[in-house]
Amino acid sequence: MDLTRFKGCAEAYGADRRRWPAREHGLYDRFAGTPEGAAILAEAERTDRFLDALEVAGPDEALAQTIARAARPRRRSGAWWQATAFAASAIIGFVLGFAQVHDDGNADVVTQLLLGPTSLREMGL
C-alpha cells in the first residue's frame, strides 16, 4: 500500500523531494533508498526532465481577441420578429379553428363557441 502511494506521489510531485508536500517527506525518505523506490524515482526524473524542457508559447493575440469578441453580449434585434411570428400564428390558428365550425343556420353555436356557455343550465349545473 505504501509503495503504491509512493508511486502516486512520485507521479504527481516528481523525483525532487523539495516538490513533495512536507507531510509526504517521511514516505519519500522511507522508499527512496530501496530498489523499487529508485526505479520509480528514475521514471519520475525522466518525466521531470521532459516537462522542464518544454517551452510554453505565448498567447496568440488574434485568438484572444476572437474569444473576447465572442464573450461580448449581443443585442437582441430579432425579438420583435419572434413576437410578431407568435401573434400571427395565434391569429391563423384562431381563424382556421373558427372556419372548421359548420353553421347550419343556428347562430347560437357560433356564439357559444366564441363566448362559452351563457347560463348555468348550459354548463350542466
The whole-number average pLDDT for the span 108-114 is: 65
Q: Dihedral sign, CA of 106, 109, 114, 117?
A: positive
- Quote the cell numbers at residue 50: 521532459
Share of the chain above pLDDT 70, in %: 74
Q: pLDDT tens for residues 27-81?
A: 999 999 899 999 999 999 999 999 989 888 888 888 888 888 888 777 666 677 8
- pLDDT over threshold 70, residue 123: no
Q: pLDDT tens for residues 3-29?
A: 899 999 999 999 999 999 999 999 999
pLDDT of residue 97: 75
| 5 in Cβ contact with 30 (< 8 Å) | no
**Pairwise CA distance, residues 74 & 64, whole Å:** 18
